[in-house]
Structure formats: C-alpha cells, structure tokens
Homo-oligomer: A and B are copies of this chain.
C-alpha cells in the first residue's frame, strides 16, 4: 500500500486512542473508574444521583466499554461462537437463525464465523478464530469432516449439530427415520421401487439417508437401483435426474434434499413426464418443497427445535461447569422428523394405469 516510510497503520484498526474510556467518563462525572464500571454493568450499589451523573457523562462522550479489555480482565463473555459453512443452504440457514434467537433469549450474543468449506482444516481454523472471547461454541456442518480430525478448543464448552452419536454433545434430526418415512410412502403409492438422488458421497447426512432408503427397499423385497450423487444444489439434482427422466421404468424418485428435488422436477417436466401421474417425487428438509410445482412431499426437519436444543445443551455446560479434569457429560439428542405429503406423491383419479 502507500507506506511512505514504514506505514504502521497498515490495517487501520479500532484505534483506542480516539475512543472515550472509562477514565474519561470518570473524570467528567467526578467519580472513579470503577464506579463507571458499576454503572456500566448494573452491578453493586450506586447512589441514584451518582448513577445519573455517570450515565450523562457516558452519553455525552458516546462511551461504550471496550469489549477486549472486559473479556481480558473478566475472563468470560456473554457471546457464543457459531461456526458454519455454506450458509445459503436453506437447512443450515434455518438452524442458524434458531440458534441466534434462542441464544438471544438467554442473554447471549452470537458471533458467526463462516468457514470456506466443511473440511476439517477449515473448520479447525474457524474454531480457533471464533473461540476468542466466546463463552461457548456451536459447530454446524460437520457432515464431511472426519470428526477425529477436528480439534475442538480446549476448555471451551462445545455442542455440534450432527445426527450421529458422537463423543461430545450433539443435536440432529433423525435422518434415517425421516428417509424411511419418505421411501415407505413412495412405495405405498404403488411404485415397484424408488430411485434416489443422494448428496455427496462424503456427506454423513446423505449416507444416513441412503442407508435408510436401501434398507426399506431391501425389507420390501424391491430392487435397489444405483445411487446417483448430487452436491445438494438444484443444478446437480437436475443433472442426476436427466438419466432417470428418459427411463420409463422410473416411477418414484427420492431426492435427498428439496433443492435437488427442484432440479429433479425440472428434468422430469422437460422430459414430458407428469408428476405425480407418471413419477412420484419426494424431497427432504421441507423448506422449499411447498413452493415447487407440483408441491413436493418432503421430510420436515424441526430446525427450530434443533436450534433451541443446541443452545440448551451449551448452557447446561456453562451453568454446571465441570471441575477441571472431570469426565465431560456427553449427550446426543435426536429430533424426530416428519413426512409432509403433498401433490408430488398424491395419486389422482386419472392414475388408473398404475
């Protein structure tokens, strides 16, 4: 940049030199810095009249406490860190919003750090950055990361959004149960088997959904078609489904999320296959499913409950801080999923040819 000589202000910065401090307020109000602190934190007893004077001084100077100093000295904070990646995927966005609003109800801020990918390396880096000044940590999007490669910050309460049973507190949807509902429903509409458009091969969530799909088919004595893999995006669902659309044998497709279901629908429409008359389609997440055409049967994940439980498990750890060295209490909560049936799987009167 323009360092004429050495340029010490390369990165700008918060510049403490130009912000009012507790001392400035104290001088103006004619009290000590720690009376300022008492007023700022609403702690201890302060004479109403003194408090008033301090508040006025704060307002006049535009004072707000330096959080770095506060955290450094107090050794705790009222903010929680949240690590995620790919936030525009609707499922995660919903959990994030639920986590934030629940945390807020309990008096905590949430600072979200977005990792560039779901790899263990990127998540580790994000956790390291985010732990700073946080009282606890929520991690989303472990699907593709090998859990044993993750290095959770030591001495920091952690909870993860994950549907597996792990060695740390976790909350997740019942992926297998939800997928089972969808596949059984598709079979019940008369299909002789169900094709699947799954998520990435390395995704744990996808793997769980695929396993449930396979076991339902096997239990019902149905042939098990090859697994098609997408990357959760509509485009990938579209691409995968183009192979299915031209095959008249294909009568039912289970997309592992709603977004890929949108792509599947487009491929079927373009191939001239009618939904649900010719092909039944189901999705997973139930976020965009009601707004596709035809409206799509989907497995509803209870994102708000997941968000609430995540915070709840985290606050449990904060409130009952274990003795250093104590064995951490692990708790894995599985939240049931629910099937919402819509037009994409509803047999109509003209369905006689099935």
Contact = CB atoms under 8 A, between A and B. Distances in A.
A313 to B, nearest CB: 13
A126 to B, nearest CB: 9
A354 interface: no
Interface residues of A, number: 80
Contacts of A11: 76, 78, 135, 318
B318 A293 contact: no
A5 B193 CA distance: 64
B132 A13 contact: no
- How many copies, total? 2
A77 B12 CA distance: 8
Interface stretch (A109-117, A141-149, A211-219): A109-117
Interface in A62-76: 62, 64, 66-69, 71-72, 74-76
A335 to B, nearest CB: 19
Contact of A266 (B78, B295, B318, B324): B295
A113 B133 CA distance: 14
A156 interface: yes
A319 B3 CA distance: 9
Contacts of A79: 129
B113 A114 contact: no
